[in-house]
């Protein structure tokens, strides 16, 4: 039987132009705080942009969940270009569809509504981490 | 529409997710774009150099560009120069703030404190100084020549300011109307010390609040917030 993944990499886009990038970034941080110890980690997306060898090895070794703020999907595309094993590509825009009318804040600071979206996103990420690291799961 | 003629400076942040200095690089860049040099600066998400098209990759060829990296790996500088073009200045947070921890040492902006604000302000000021130096050295564009200086995402858009009286002095606060609006939407009650402290915390993200004047700012902001709530109520 194939073993479960020891660890999952969560990589947000951290887009700097819109609030969606900040939500992606904070959603990953929140999920990392709540994930079982050693089961989830993040890495600097910029390392993949510059082709860092160690970063490329990590995304090839562990399943990756990317979190993107906008449809350009920078996190997903960069991870794929680096040879990453994309287990799931999460889009903040899809999460926001459940929260129509909310004002999540700005690319600099989230409002209380923005943090609600972050918590919802992190719950989704956490559930995915648990599935991917569950005993018996092929990852 | 009138053509833009002024040169703008590009700022590319590494925004490294795995270290607090990456968060400082991101917030300092935002601070320059929104409050210190709005209208003179523009940015682009670093990962777009690979995920985007030729338009994105032309960024550093179109704008004199400053990179701001969290650590000595200098991914923003290396990535920009590899995919877009040479940079005009390359700053590193760990060089600008040599004493660790830088800020509170947190990566998330949830629960940021005055140490984080101070770190962001200091780095942002250095970026702004480099922006000024680049613009001072740059030849002026010819009338009608467009800089094309927007990536179209609104990242270089400045926020409307508000004016408060702090200890008898008029002080302009970038984004104050939006801050007050957001506090009202969040249900912040304007009758206790927690409210004034919350207002100071939010404003200090965008505007330097000296420790010695924090109490004066708290009083002025609470008064402004009360006035805002009254006008909001009256308009209904």
A45-85 residue pLDDT tens: 999 999 999 999 999 999 999 999 999 999 999 999 999 99
pLDDT along chain B (236 residues), means of 10: 66 96 97 95 93 86 94 96 94 94 90 91 96 86 46 51 84 82 80 82 79 88 89 72
Residues with Cβ within 8 Å of residue A68, at least 6 apart in sequence: A12, A13, A15, A24, A74, A75, A76, A89, A90, A91, A92
What is the predicted pLDDT for the residue at A126?
A: 97
Query: Are B120 and B183 in a shared domain?
Result: no
- On whether the CB atoms of residues B176 and B164 are closer than 8 A, the answer is yes
Q: Tell me the C-alpha distance between B14 and A48, whole Å.
A: 11
Query: Which residue of B18, B51, B79 is in closest CB contact with A73?
Result: B51
What is the predicted pLDDT for the residue at B235?
A: 65
Query: Are B100 and B189 in a shared domain?
Result: no
Query: Are B47 and B104 in a shared domain?
Result: yes
Query: Are B16 and B124 in a shared domain?
Result: yes
Residues A6-21, mean pLDDT to the nearest whole number: 96
Total residue count of chain B as it appears in this document: 236
Q: Tell me, what DSSP letter sits at residue A66?
A: E
CA nearest neighbour of B17 among A122, A71, A32, A92: A32
Q: Is the residue at B15 inside a domain?
A: yes
Number of folded domains that form chain B? 2
Chain A and chain B share a number of CB contacts under 8 A equal to 122
Q: Tell me the C-alpha distance between B148 and B152, whole Å.
A: 10
Residue with more model confidence, B212 or A116: A116
Can you give the residue ranges of every domain in chain A? Answer: 8-122
Place of tokens 């690089």: B25
The angle at the Cα of A22, spanning A20 to A28, to the nearest 5 degrees, equals 105
Q: Tell me the C-alpha distance between A32 and B77, whole Å.
A: 28
Q: CB-based contact (8 Å) between A122 and chain B?
A: no
Q: What is the chain A residue with the closest CA to B72?
A: A47
Query: Are B165 and B128 in a shared domain?
Result: no
Q: CB-based contact (8 Å) between A89 and chain B?
A: no
Which residues on A lie below 8 Å from B18 (Cβ)? 42-44
What is the predicted pLDDT for the residue at B231?
A: 82
CB contact (8 A) between residue A16 and residue B27: no
- Name beta bridge partners: A86: A64
Residue with more model confidence, A131 or B186: A131
Q: Tell me the C-alpha distance between A38 and B79, whole Å.
A: 30
Task: Quote the mean pLDDT of chain A.
Answer: 93
Query: 3-class SS at B226?
Result: helix
Give me the domain span that covers residue B34.
Answer: 9-137
User: What tokens appear for A66 in the block?
Assistant: 């990317």
CB contact (8 A) between residue B185 and residue A77: no
Query: Are B131 and B187 in a shared domain?
Result: no
Q: CB-based contact (8 Å) between A66 and chain B?
A: no
- On whether the CB atoms of residues A126 and A34 are closer than 8 A, the answer is yes
Query: Are B120 and B208 in a shared domain?
Result: no
What is the predicted pLDDT for the residue at B160?
A: 65
- Name beta bridge partners: B162: B173
Query: 3-class SS at A8?
Result: strand
Q: Is the residue at B219 inside a domain?
A: yes
Which residues on A lie below 8 Å from B207 (Cβ)? none
Distances A88 to A52, A65, B52, B88 between C-alpha atoms, Å: 22, 5, 21, 38
Percentage of chain A beyond pLDDT 90 is 87
Q: Tell me the C-alpha distance between B155 and B158, whole Å.
A: 8
Shortest Cα–Cα distance, B101 to chain A (Å): 19
The angle at the Cα of B222, spanning B219 to B223, to the nearest 5 degrees, equals 85
- Name beta bridge partners: B186: none
Per-residue exposure over B110-122, b if at least 16 CB sit within 10 Å of its own CB, e if not: eebeeebbbbbbb
Helices (H), chain B: 20-31, 48-51, 54-57, 59-62, 75-83, 93-96, 114-137, 176-185, 193-206, 214-234
What is the predicted pLDDT for the residue at B159?
A: 60
Q: Tell me the C-alpha distance between B123 and B120, whole Å.
A: 5
CB contact (8 A) between residue B26 and residue A16: yes
Query: Are B13 and B57 in a shared domain?
Result: yes
Q: Tell me the C-alpha distance between B88 and B81, whole Å.
A: 10
Q: CB-based contact (8 Å) between A1 and chain B?
A: no
Q: Is the residue at B53 inside a domain?
A: yes
Which residues on A lie below 8 Å from B206 (Cβ)? 108
Q: Tell me the C-alpha distance between A30 and A125, whole Å.
A: 9
Q: How many CA atoms lie within 13 A of B236 on its CB side?
A: 5
Q: CB-based contact (8 Å) between A127 and chain B?
A: no
- On whether the CB atoms of residues B49 and A48 are closer than 8 A, the answer is no
A4 pLDDT band, cuts 50/70/90, is low
Which residues on B lie below 8 Å from A46 (Cβ)? 14-16, 22, 46-47, 75-76, 79
Query: Which residue of A29, A42, A46 is in closest CB contact with B46?
Result: A46
Query: Are B112 and B220 in a shared domain?
Result: no
What is the predicted pLDDT for the residue at B111?
A: 81
Q: CB-based contact (8 Å) between A14 and chain B?
A: yes
Q: What is the chain B residue with the closest CA to A51?
A: B79
Which residues on B lie below 8 Å from A110 (Cβ)? 109
- On whether the CB atoms of residues B24 and A14 are closer than 8 A, the answer is no
What is the predicted pLDDT for the residue at B210?
A: 84
Which residues on A lie below 8 Å from B49 (Cβ)? 49
ipTM metric? 0.93
What is the predicted pLDDT for the residue at B208?
A: 78
A19, A49, A82: best mutation site toward chain B, by most B Cβ within 10 Å?
A49
User: What tokens appear for A106 in the block?
Assistant: 């700005």
């Amino acid at each position: 039987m194939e073993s479960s993944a020891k660890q999952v990499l969560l990589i947000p886009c951290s887009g700097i132009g819109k609030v969606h990038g900040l939500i992606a970034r904070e959603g990953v941080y929140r999920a990392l705080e709540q994930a079982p110890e050693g089961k989830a980690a993040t890495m600097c997306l910029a390392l993949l942009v510059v082709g860092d060898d160690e970063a490329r090895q990590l995304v090839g070794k562990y399943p990756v969940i990317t979190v993107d703020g906008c449809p350009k999907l920078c996190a997903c595309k960069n991870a794929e270009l680096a040879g990453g094993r994309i287990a799931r590509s999460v889009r903040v825009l899809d999460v926001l569809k459940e929260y129509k009318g909310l004002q999540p804040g700005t690319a600099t600071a989230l409002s209380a509504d923005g943090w609600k979206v972050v918590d919802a996103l992190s719950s989704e990420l956490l559930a995915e981490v648990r599935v991917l690291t569950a005993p018996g799961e092929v990852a | 529409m009138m053509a833009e003629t002024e040169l703008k400076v590009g700022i590319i942040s590494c925004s490294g997710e795995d270290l607090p200095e990456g968060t400082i690089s991101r917030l300092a860049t935002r601070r320059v774009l929104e409050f210190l040099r709005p209208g003179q600066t523009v940015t682009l998400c670093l990962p777009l150099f690979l995920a985007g098209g030729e338009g994105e990759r032309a960024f550093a060829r179109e704008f004199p560009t400053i990179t701001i990296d969290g650590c000595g790996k200098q991914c923003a500088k290396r990535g920009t120069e590899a995919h877009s073009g040479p940079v005009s200045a390359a700053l590193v947070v760990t060089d600008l703030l040599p004493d660790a921890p830088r800020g509170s040492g947190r990566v998330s902006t949830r629960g940021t404190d005055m140490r984080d604000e101070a770190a962001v302000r200091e780095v942002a000021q250095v970026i702004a100084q480099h922006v000024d130096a680049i613009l001072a050295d740059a030849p002026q564009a010819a009338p009608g020549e467009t800089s094309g200086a927007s990536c179209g995402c609104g990242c270089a858009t400045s926020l409307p300011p508000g004016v408060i009286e702090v200890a008898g002095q008029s002080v302009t606060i970038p984004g104050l109307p939006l801050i007050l609006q957001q506090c009202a939407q969040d249900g912040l009650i304007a009758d206790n010390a927690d409210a004034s402290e919350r207002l100071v915390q939010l404003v200090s993200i965008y505007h330097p609040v000296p420790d010695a004047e924090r109490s004066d700012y708290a009083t002025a902001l609470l008064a402004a917030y009360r006035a805002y709530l009254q006008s909001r109520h009256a308009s209904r």
